[in-house]
Amino acid sequence: MKIVIDGIETAASPGEMLLEVARRLGVRIPTLCYHEAFGGQGVCRLCLVEVTAGEVSRLVASCTYPVTGEIEVRTTTPEIERIRRHIIMLLHRRAPGSEFIQELYREYGCQENVPAPDPDERCIMCRLCVNACEAVGACAITAVDRGTDKRIDTPYGEASPDCIGCCACAEVCPTKAIGVSRAAGHYTIWNREFELERCAGCGRPFTSRPCQERIARLSGQELSGAQLCPECRKKQAGSRVALSMIP
């Protein structure tokens, strides 16, 4: 079906999320709680757009709005800019230590904000880290406490035996709020220390033993000592393809 985004006509599949259509078209809509691996959550509301169907217009979160008919979309209006500015000011109040939030704060010309309780806080409670942890089957972190004390943490703030050290949570975090402390051959995340396993190809330390074991279990393969890092696996796969092309 045909839709129009900021004056540009494009095609969308029924049920396709509006944000995904806009990104495919190259139209920038700011997001924080969205990740292509998990889809939209509609938590941060930064991706608000104006959708007009017939004579009815309304504001929707583009990451959770499925296209079901012909619509016209405006991604930027004075009203949308005002709402986004207020959202960013609230996020800046909660997580002033995030450089990404600071950049948004400057980009949208936000007014002077009141001092934050914790100037180093970077978490905006988007829950992408929790989704990533659940996706790998670890479920080591979750939201704890309530109200202004709500935060993402392990049970009782202690080292979780369920954490496999994959660092997927830190990778998807938009504000870099999850710290990974690295030392020679070791790293610590969520108060648990892991020893890095070395790649059998290049010898570079690249992941933890629990993470390797989880991948082996999910793939149905046995865990051997000859584990390769992602770069070496790509090279190995490329070599196999090249050999298969030799007559």
Residue with tokens 């997927």: 168
CATH topology of domain 2-76: Ubiquitin-like (UB roll) (3.10.20)
3-state SS, the chain, equals: CEEEECCEEEECCCCCEHHHHHHHHCCCCCCCCCECCCECCCCCCCCEEEEEECCEEEEEECCCCECCCCCEEECCCHHHHHHHHHHHHHHHHHCCCCHHHHHHHHHCCCCCCCCCCCCCCCCCCCCHHHHHHHHCCCCCCEEECCHHHCEEECHHHCCCCCCCCCCHHHHHCCCCCCCCEEECCEEEECCEEEEEEECCCCCCEEEEHHHHHHHHHHHCCCCCCCCCCHHHHHHHHHHHHHHHCCC
User: In whole angstroms, what is the distance from residue 110 CA to residue 29 CA?
Assistant: 18
Predicted confidence band at 117 (pLDDT cuts at 50, 70, 90)? confident
Tokens of 70: 């012909």
User: In whole angstroms, what is the distance from residue 214 CA to residue 218 CA?
Assistant: 6
Tokens of 83: 């709402």
Among the ranges given (39-48, 126-135, 223-232), the one the predictor scored with the smallest mean pLDDT: 223-232
Residue-range domain boundaries for the chain: 2-76, 128-244
Query: How confident is the model over 75-108, as pLDDT tens digits?
Result: 999 999 999 999 999 999 999 999 999 999 999 9
Query: How confident is the model over 184-199, as pLDDT tens digits?
Result: 889 999 999 999 988 8
Query: How confident is the model over 143-180, as pLDDT tens digits?
Result: 999 988 899 999 999 999 999 999 999 999 999 999 99
Tokens of 203: 């010898």
pTM, to two decimals: 0.85
Predicted confidence band at 222 (pLDDT cuts at 50, 70, 90)? low
